[in-house]
Copies of this chain bind each other. A is one copy, B any other.
Amino acid sequence: MSASGVEAPDRLLIRDLAQLATPSRRSAPLRRAELGAVDVIENAYVLCEQGRINHVGKMRDLGPLTGEVAELDGRGLSAIPGLVDCHTHACFAGDRVGEFALRASGASYEELHAAGGGILSTVRATRDADEARLDTALERHVAWMLRSGTTTFEAKSGYGLDRETELAQLRVVRRAGGIPTWLGAHAVPPEFTDAGPAAYVDFLLAEVLPDAAQVAEAADIFLERGAFGVEEARRYLQACQNVGLALRLHGDQFTEAGAIPLAIELGARSVDHLESTGPGGIAALAASDVVGVLLPASALFLGRPMPPGRALADAGAAVALATDFNPGSAFCESLPLICSLACTQLGLSPEEALTACTVNAAHVLERAHRKGRLAPGYDADIVLIGADDWRHLAYHLGGPVVHTVLQGGRISWNSRA
């Protein structure tokens, strides 16, 4: 009996796996030696029941199973936890391939801007799309993520920058099964160019936050010179925190503009990007409970320096990895590619990369009790890698490493389907 189709079988046995690999430790976020602690079981099985993992172990320790059990042949495959993408901007209309081509051809930032590029070009396209078209666009992107092994994803608003479109984005993300983050403070929209960022934050808090807080789980802001400063960020984030939202920050992407101290002050879940973080920021983050979310695809895409992943890990910071999937600076939904970049550009081991895009990413999304490990009680979100060594996840650069994806014990993508 094979496991496929729409219904999840009550009980599913994935048998004869070449390997099973899972972060060892339960407490999150993981850091220091625990970041690289991955249990590997050779010749393994996973037993799922009612959409959860019931047991994992070695085949030779599998006792007789009574009752009806669907089976999935794991020969030649390796099981890892479903991947968790904790930082995406996957809800957008249009693309920015023209801007990509101009940048590749050496165009300056000013030339890109003059050609209509930048965040505001996606804001225009997203405002122009009705909600059904946004549903369709995001569903397409979610299908790409799924075939790359992402079983849990966050997606931000921030391409509306007006009440109607920001709320539409959040609803679209939730309908697509994602975890919505309100990023009203992504950029100052044209309507507020004259009034300035403080006036735009006033508008966001008065007109959008009350409804955004009903849909979103967290709030995020782009803290950067030329975008929003520390004072506006503090006011925006505190107001969001007051209505129950978790806090995130885009910080230190181009300059150290104060995101890490503010994130620590407010008890944010994460500060994301960190390409420009220096020794002081690394030490501060390491001494805190704030997760540093590393986004190497955007550094690669923009031809910019990589974030100091090894230094952060060595200092004892909890780090997560994410795609930053967006049309302007990282048209990339593939966490396996992010793992390759982590191992080749950030100095992380495959084990550290796995923890960073499973347990620690789930912690950023407040899902670490159910997502990110293959252990009893966790959701049966499982990626089968098409190799007998799970580390092909990072080793096979740009290759078709994902063979099968399960969500809640149900096959939701298969490379042969």
From A393, which residue of chain B is reached at the shortest CB distance? B97
Q: Contact: A104 with B394, CB < 8 Å?
A: yes
Complex Cα–Cα for A302 and B297 (A): 17
Q: Contact: B392 with A344, CB < 8 Å?
A: no
Interface bin, chain A: 35 or more
Binary CB contact string for chain A from 346 to 357 against chain B (1 if under 8 A, 0 otherwise):
011110000000
Q: Contact: B332 with A397, CB < 8 Å?
A: yes
Cβ of A400: which chain B residues have Cβ within 8 Å of it? 144, 147
Q: Contact: A395 with B350, CB < 8 Å?
A: no
From A335, which residue of chain B is reached at the shortest CB distance? B398
Cβ of A395: which chain B residues have Cβ within 8 Å of it? 95, 97, 100-101, 331
- A77 smallest CB distance to B (angstroms): 15
From A106, which residue of chain B is reached at the shortest CB distance? B347
From A349, which residue of chain B is reached at the shortest CB distance? B105
A345 contacts B by Cβ under 8 Å: yes
Q: Contact: A391 with B101, CB < 8 Å?
A: yes
Q: Contact: B301 with A100, CB < 8 Å?
A: no
- Return the contact of A334 from the options B302, B333, B398 (Cβ within 8 A): B398
Q: Can you list the 10 inter-chain pairs with the closest CB atoms, starting with the nearest?
A: A337-B398, A104-B343, A332-B397, A334-B398, A105-B349, A97-B395, A100-B395, A97-B391, A97-B389, A104-B349
Cβ of A106: which chain B residues have Cβ within 8 Å of it? 310, 347
A300 contacts B by Cβ under 8 Å: yes
A305 contacts B by Cβ under 8 Å: no
Q: Contact: A100 with B394, CB < 8 Å?
A: yes
A180-216 at interface with B (beta carbon < 8 Å): none
